[in-house]
Amino acid sequence: MEVLQGDITQIKVDAIVNAANTTLLGGGGVDGAIHRAAGPALLHACRELHGCDTGKAKVTKGYLLPARYIIHTPGPIWKGGDFNEGKLLSSCYQSCLVLADKFHCQTLAFPSISTGVYHFPLIQAVHIAVKTIIEYLQKESKLRKVFLICFDEKTWKAYKWEISGWLDQTE
């Protein structure tokens, strides 16, 4: 697993993950950036998917992106923590990892799902993301590398800190 600061639309991997909403018809944040960079064909493809439940994931081609595929997953909107938000966020990561394997991806890049417009507390979200990814990769997976692409330094530091904590545990 590797944490990078940057723009996920520029990353050349087999699949990038889009922090979408349940309509899958685009929005702001990373969703807007991905739709702008992938081009209008992405919206046409998403219309055929007829939405996606929170915590689930659906795949499209990457169109004009360097990535071959886009895996769209609606993260949970933070409502205080008593509405299964943690389980739903973990399910987003799990669903994307399963789909990446199903599409024989060797490399995959995640944004920080739900920690923008959806206001999921960053430190909690980072712990859930890293734990879910590490536990998945310890099982049977063809994924060679998972990137966490952070748009801002605060998110990048949070992921670096969390991963260093996991590495200390395994040493």
Q: Where are the beta strands (DSSP E) in the chain?
A: 2-5, 15-20, 58-61, 69-74, 107-110, 145-150
Q: Does 7 bind ligand APR (CB under 6 A)?
A: yes
Q: 34-63: which residues touch ligand APR (CB under 6 A)? A: none
Q: What is the largest CA-CA distance in the chain?
A: 48
Q: How far apart are CA 15 and CA 143, in angstroms?
A: 11
134 binds ligand APR (CB under 6 A): no
> Does residue 31 have an active-site annotation?
yes
Stretch of residues binding ligand APR (CB under 6 A), selected from 13-21, 44-52, 60-68, 162-170: 13-21
Select which of 31, 101, 152, 168 is catalytic.
31
Output the smallest distance, CB 87 to ligand APR, in A.
16
Q: Is 121 in the site for ligand APR (CB under 6 A)?
A: no
Q: Which of residues 72-101 bind ligand APR (CB under 6 A)?
A: 75
111 binds ligand APR (CB under 6 A): yes
Residue 92 structure tokens? 């987003």
**Rg of the chain over CA atoms, in angstroms?**
15
Compare residues 116 and 168 and give the one whose CB is closer to ligand APR: 116
SS3 74: strand
Using CA atoms, how far apart are residues 47 and 66, in angstroms rounded to an integer? Answer: 22
Closest contact distance (angstroms) between CB of 143 and ligand APR is: 19
Catalytic positions, written as ranges: 31
